[in-house]
Structure 1
Amino acid sequence: MINTQEPLAVALFLCVVAVGIGLSAQLVRRTSSPSEYFVAGGSIHWAVNGLAFIGDYLSAASFLGVGGLIATVGYDGFLYSIGFLAGWAFALLVVAEPFRRFGRVTFTDVIDARFRSRGVRFTAAVSTLVICLCYLIPQMVGVGTLVTPLLGIPYYLGILLIGTVVTIIVATSGMASTTYVQCLKGIALLTVSSWLAFAVLERGLVELPPLDGEEVVAERGHGGYSLPDGLTLEAGWSTSGAWQAGFLPVIEPDGRRSLWQVDAATESQAVLVRSHYAVTYDDEMMVDGISPPPPIPVSVGRLAQRSSLCGPSSLNPVTFLRCFSDSELYVWNRQTFLEQDQLVTAYRRERKSGAEVLSTGGLFDLPSKDWASRLDFISLMVALLCGTAALPHILIRYYTVGNHSAARKSTVLAIGGICLFYCACLIMSLGAMSGQAVNLLDSNMTIPLLAKTLGAAAFAVVTAVAFAAVLGSVSGLIIAASGAVAHDLMDCFLGITMNSKEKVVVGRMSAFIVGCGAIYFGLIFEGMNVSYLAGLTFALAAAANLPALLMALFWSKTTGRGVVCSMLTGLVGSFILILISPEMYVRYGRPAADAPFALNNPALVMLPVSLLVLILISRRYPDPRSA
């Protein structure tokens, strides 16, 4: 079982925590001024900063979420990583050097450099705080996902434990310790992901026998099906959500509710197949009608190998993908529906070729003519491409180096490292899909479960690195959010007179407050895929921050009033569209078709609207000082 505690994994986890606390204790003396606390005084070497970029960006959303998405939906999950990577090219070509030349402390300083406006400073600070809190959610969800199987404690205790530890680390020593933690984390991520990908290639694709369904011939009577062996149909089955989703709701002899699949029907009888399926029904996990102790690793795919060239020690990345494409798998198709006012999720086994898994359609359904699915995909890519260049905790890292040239070198190094990681992630995820290393109820555990198939030591190392990934990302987000509170709001906006020591104290207090908020939201969003949550955060950053940032840097007619209206439009409008999106309606327990907004990601709508608002307001209310 995946929740069996491994002493080595626990020991490595404690080592990661000890290293973080040790760095904080060592570097606490280097945080006597606001500049040293928030941006490490601009003294970080560009290579260290580039590795820290990798460690900061490859968060739980990448290491846990992207791997889980690829292993459950196939190629469409890999499109997330393409969007994440492409955003860095945009940041390098457009934002890096102009942003660094301002030489300030926070994202808000750059936006307000031309305008000296209290309204601009307040709006930019609030936007920074909101985006950092939203991005903290997937990181904390990833923490809880890892702690439960590692330490054997409940999800909420894991969130409280790790949230407290990382908040203490950030509050004591600020950006200096955060940078070195992220640098070490970046090196560890690249090393472990490359090693795992190599292990998958060495193991090859192992043929597994297929699972056969159990067939029962049932007589068809008046008003429904008459089932043998003590099985009975639920009352109102013909109008139930299960029947509309292709299942037949059945009550077992012991009173348990289960789902059966109708394969064929005639006027006199129907052939029912109890497919190998997993279903969350009445708040419990069932597999083939049997309720095992959760959590349980459920195979997403079983490989029917066609070529002898796909065995152990005979693959490179190209031949691995070719062999996977030429194989057949039994994959689990996820369906969600309402049954007796309860949200039910069923995973039905289907036979697919590897080529189908490696083509789009698992998540976005691009081959169909559904305009909403295509626009939703475009909207997600817009969010990932544009959101990267507008994430506050990424942008402030440009101030930890000495000049714009170092900022450019850091970005180039980050692009190379991130590209290497996502290539390895594709191999790891497909290896997990074909090797029974996925928990259907929590796809975020895919990479750790893949490591567990290689042995207890591999699981321990990967889990420790995953913890380091979360700790580094959470640290960067908390430091950016505390800067928005202490430096932007209290010091510059409210004008509270403080000396350097008092500003650092306020920054540390702000870090504690933000950390408490991260813990709270991590508890609320338990179970959601972290890449999906990260995609929404990127949409907020793209719509609220990017138009204001680009126009403030490159358009001389931009006004403070236009920036304020643009950021508020992007922030508030994106939140509203997210709340009325199909994915959120499912979480409300209502059909996705009832959602007023057809897209799950609002960037495609709100980014151009936010930009248009800025241009119109700036033209309508020009400011002579803006030039």
Structure 2
Amino acid sequence: MNPTTAGTQIGQPNTTAIVFFLLFVSITLAITYWAARKTKTTSEFFAAGGGISAGQNGFALAGDFMSAASFLGIAGLVATSGFDGLIYSVGWLVGWPVVTFLIAEPLRNLGKYTFADVVAYRLKQTPVRLSAAVGTLTVVVFYLIAQMVGAGNLIRLLFGLSYETAVVIVGAVMILYVLFGGMIATTWVQIVKAVLLLGGATALAISVLWQFGFSPAALFSEAVNRYGPEALAPGKLVSNPLETISLGLALMFGTAGLPHILMRFYTVPNAKAARTSVFYATGLIGFFYLVTFILGFGASVLVGRQAIVSVDKGGNMAAPMLAEVVGGTGFLGFISAVSFATILAVVAGLTLSGAAALSHDLWSSVVRKGHAPEAEQLKVARIASLALGILAIILGVVFKNQNVAFMVGLAFAIAASANFPALLLSMLWRGFTTKGAVASMLTGSISAVLLIFLSPTVQVELLGNASALFPLKNPGIVTIPLSFIVGWVVSLVSPETEASARFAEVEHRMHVGAAVAPPVTVPTGVAGTVPPGIPEAPQKV
């Protein structure tokens, strides 16, 4: 079976793609209008009032996580590198059991809107929330840049629009979702996107397997005939074992530290629903990665590596080109529209998590010391969403030619190094202190950024230097243990009696939950204790 030699329609205006894209945007804007009428409080804006079911949240988690990098990037890596392309799939997927067993239930029981709620539960509010906001916003900004740059290049290739026009369209639609609909709209956008992406990718995989009598073995055999046994052997993409381990650690623990993923656990009614939703999400994401593996090998055989690289040297057009080969321009149009929807859903989730860090962690908890009225909190949240959306558009245009994989790698490295260690230590270790938390989060953020700047990705590939001071492309193997060690050592040398005394309360609530379910709205500015079900902040700030 020979690869296609016909010219591709990628980059030309595609009526089917435009129709499907307009249909998706119309449906999701209608959802946003409906959600806007229900979003009256900060709880509804940031956590959908805790009214999302486990099944719905499972699909939304999958939709939030399955980015264009997952769909187009992994299919392209498998198409151009063979078996090695699976390293990203495995790394990202293995992170979900970590989330299931270590993070989901405790986070839901201890927090309110952000992961900083958990870290700061028994510690001093101001320094912890400031440090957590630094880590959160750094991850969000780099991930947003990656998504916006990816969106610009993708839409330019798929629809023939200019890069800048594509970035502005994505940014504008995303602002509408988040600004007016909050978490309710974002959740349903992610659910619709997950259904479309899983359906489209599955249909494409079935079309590929149909060409080989529904035998994956026949597909792999054809790949070996065409590209040799190394197509099914590891070592081509990542040959250094340390590099492989470091990348795997960042992908695995980065998942458990991504603010827009952690935020979704507050949208369900209780901790059991949080854990169940992760179970559903893991199954959906695992199935999706199996499908992309088929798509990658299908593209390498039916389209051909040379044809794929000639359109986009990163291989990102492998899946759309495969859709065109097996289903014509109509199928190409559908997959193109799904790819666009994929980016919109992810940037909406990222923007909302960044807005939560700015309004809840910084404004309400640090600036206003927890005494901001409900209306003020909601106003600041919407202003923060608008500001982040505009910033995303500007950064997308400014960083037009940057390496997207580098930006995603940096975001995961920071999430794994800054957010995950502090989150885990705060839940599991009685001796963890305010100074330890601050030192851990700042060390993780700074060391990850510094070592990636000194890595071959920046020094050799981007700056053109002969060598790099740090030999690994991903610093996870250094920065993740470093963040744990710094948090541990600093906590030992600066003990905090009050924080240790409150650990029993944390431990009980983490496993049992609140005696009363969290109310949707919380009166502010009223003397007395915090209402049951809302994490009580220590008095020291």
Q: TM-score range by the shorter chain?
A: 0.7 to 0.9
Cα deviation for residue 523 of structure 1 reads 2.9
> CA separation in 1, counterparts of 2:355 and 2:117?
14
Cα deviation for residue 183 of structure 1 reads 0.9
- Structure 1 residue 100 and structure 2 residue 108: aligned? yes
Q: Is the Cα–Cα contact under 8 Å of residues 142 and 444 in structure 1 kept in the other structure?
A: no
Cα deviation for residue 525 of structure 1 reads 4.1
> CA separation in 1, counterparts of 2:479 and 2:425?
16
Please, which moves more after superposition, 132-141 or 535-544? 132-141
Q: Is the Cα–Cα contact under 8 Å of residues 442 and 527 in structure 1 kept in the other structure?
A: no
Please, which moves more after superposition, 508-517 or 528-537? 528-537
1:202-281 equivalences in 2 (<5 Å): 202-204=210-212
1:508-562 alpha-carbon deviations (Å, 9 max, x no partner): 1111111122223323444566455323211110100111000000100000100
> CA separation in 2, counterparts of 1:389 and 1:120?
19
State the one-letter code of the partner of 1:479.
L
Q: Is the Cα–Cα contact under 8 Å of residues 435 and 490 in structure 2 kept in the other structure?
A: yes
Residues 374 and 520 of structure 1: CA distance in aligned 2, closer, same or farther (over 3 Å): farther
> CA separation in 1, counterparts of 2:71 and 2:373?
41
The residue matched to 1:420 in structure 2 has which SS?
helix
Cα deviation for residue 151 of structure 1 reads 3.3
1:344-383 equivalences in 2 (<5 Å): 353=228, 355-365=229-239, 373-383=240-250
1:278-300 alpha-carbon deviations (Å, 9 max, x no partner): xxxxxxxxxxxxxxxxxxxxxxx
1:138-184 alpha-carbon deviations (Å, 9 max, x no partner): 22123112321343221122111211111121111100000011111
Aligned to 1:608: 481
> CA separation in 1, counterparts of 2:91 and 2:417?
16
1:184-195 equivalences in 2 (<5 Å): 184-195=192-203
The residue matched to 2:233 in structure 1 has which SS?
coil
Please, which moves more after superposition, 516-525 or 95-104? 516-525
Aligned to 1:457: 330
- Structure 1 residue 3 and structure 2 residue 8: aligned? no
> CA separation in 2, counterparts of 1:116 and 1:187?
42
Q: Is the Cα–Cα contact under 8 Å of residues 65 and 530 in structure 1 kept in the other structure?
A: no
- Structure 1 residue 596 and structure 2 residue 469: aligned? yes
1:82-116 alpha-carbon deviations (Å, 9 max, x no partner): 10100001111111111111141211111111113
Q: Is the Cα–Cα contact under 8 Å of residues 433 and 491 in structure 2 kept in the other structure?
A: yes
Please, which moves more after superposition, 442-451 or 175-184? 442-451
Aligned to 2:320: 448
1:380-459 equivalences in 2 (<5 Å): 380-434=247-301, 435-436=303-304, 438=308, 439-453=311-325, 454-459=327-332
Aligned to 1:182: 190
Cα deviation for residue 572 of structure 1 reads 0.7
Cα deviation for residue 425 of structure 1 reads 0.2
State the one-letter code of the partner of 2:467.
D
> CA separation in 1, counterparts of 2:215 and 2:134?
48
1:624 to 475, 497, 513: 497
State the one-letter code of the partner of 1:100.
R
Q: Is the Cα–Cα contact under 8 Å of residues 355 and 385 in structure 2 kept in the other structure?
A: yes
Aligned to 2:520: none
1:26-45 equivalences in 2 (<5 Å): 26-45=34-53
Number of residue pairs matched?
A: 485
Aligned to 1:146: 154
State the one-letter code of the partner of 2:128.
V
Q: Is the Cα–Cα contact under 8 Å of residues 9 and 459 in structure 1 kept in the other structure?
A: yes
The residue matched to 1:360 in structure 2 has which SS?
coil
Cα deviation for residue 75 of structure 1 reads 1.7
Q: Is the Cα–Cα contact under 8 Å of residues 55 and 186 in structure 1 kept in the other structure?
A: yes
Return the structure number with greater strand share. 1
State the one-letter code of the partner of 2:267.
T
- Structure 1 residue 124 and structure 2 residue 132: aligned? yes
> CA separation in 1, counterparts of 2:168 and 2:281?
31
Where do 4+ consecutive residues of structure 1 move more than 4 Å? 527-532
- Structure 1 residue 500 and structure 2 residue 374: aligned? yes
Cα deviation for residue 614 of structure 1 reads 0.5
Residues 86 and 317 of structure 1: CA distance in aligned 2, closer, same or farther (over 3 Å): same
Q: Is the Cα–Cα contact under 8 Å of residues 31 and 174 in structure 1 kept in the other structure?
A: yes
Residues 588 and 324 of structure 1: CA distance in aligned 2, closer, same or farther (over 3 Å): closer
Aligned to 1:574: 448
1:188-242 alpha-carbon deviations (Å, 9 max, x no partner): 11111111111111123xxxxxxxxxxxxxxxxxxxxxxxxxxxxxxxxxxxxxx
> CA separation in 1, counterparts of 2:463 and 2:416?
29
- Structure 1 residue 161 and structure 2 residue 169: aligned? yes
Identity of aligned residues (%): 39
1:504-523 equivalences in 2 (<5 Å): 504-523=378-397
1:481 to 330, 333, 354: 354
1:46-79 alpha-carbon deviations (Å, 9 max, x no partner): 1000000110110112012111222222222111
1:534 to 400, 408, 412: 408
Please, which moves more after superposition, 506-515 or 555-564? 506-515
Q: Is the Cα–Cα contact under 8 Å of residues 61 and 138 in structure 1 kept in the other structure?
A: no
Q: Is the Cα–Cα contact under 8 Å of residues 145 and 444 in structure 1 kept in the other structure?
A: no
The residue matched to 1:25 in structure 2 has which SS?
helix
Q: Is the Cα–Cα contact under 8 Å of residues 91 and 252 in structure 2 kept in the other structure?
A: yes
The residue matched to 1:390 in structure 2 has which SS?
coil
Aligned to 2:342: 469
Q: Is the Cα–Cα contact under 8 Å of residues 60 and 138 in structure 1 kept in the other structure?
A: no
Aligned to 1:319: 218
Aligned to 1:328: 226
State the one-letter code of the partner of 1:490.
W
Residues 548 and 160 of structure 1: CA distance in aligned 2, closer, same or farther (over 3 Å): same
> CA separation in 1, counterparts of 2:14 and 2:420?
45
> CA separation in 2, counterparts of 1:404 and 1:589?
47
- Structure 1 residue 23 and structure 2 residue 50: aligned? no
> Structure 1 regions of 5+ residues with no counterpart?
205-313, 330-352, 366-372
Q: Is the Cα–Cα contact under 8 Å of residues 566 and 610 in structure 1 kept in the other structure?
A: yes
> CA separation in 1, counterparts of 2:163 and 2:169?
10
State the one-letter code of the partner of 2:214.
L
Aligned to 2:3: none
Residues 178 and 95 of structure 1: CA distance in aligned 2, closer, same or farther (over 3 Å): same
What TM-score results when the alignment is normalised by the length of structure 2?
0.87
Please, which moves more after superposition, 431-440 or 614-623? 431-440
> CA separation in 2, counterparts of 1:525 and 1:359?
35
Q: Is the Cα–Cα contact under 8 Å of residues 128 and 438 in structure 2 kept in the other structure?
A: yes
Cα deviation for residue 617 of structure 1 reads 0.4
Return the structure number with greater helix share. 2
> CA separation in 1, counterparts of 2:400 and 2:237?
21
RMSD of aligned Cα (Å): 1.6
Cα deviation for residue 44 of structure 1 reads 0.3
Q: Between Structure 1 and Structure 2, whose CA radius of gyration is higher?
A: 1
Q: Is the Cα–Cα contact under 8 Å of residues 95 and 251 in structure 2 kept in the other structure?
A: yes
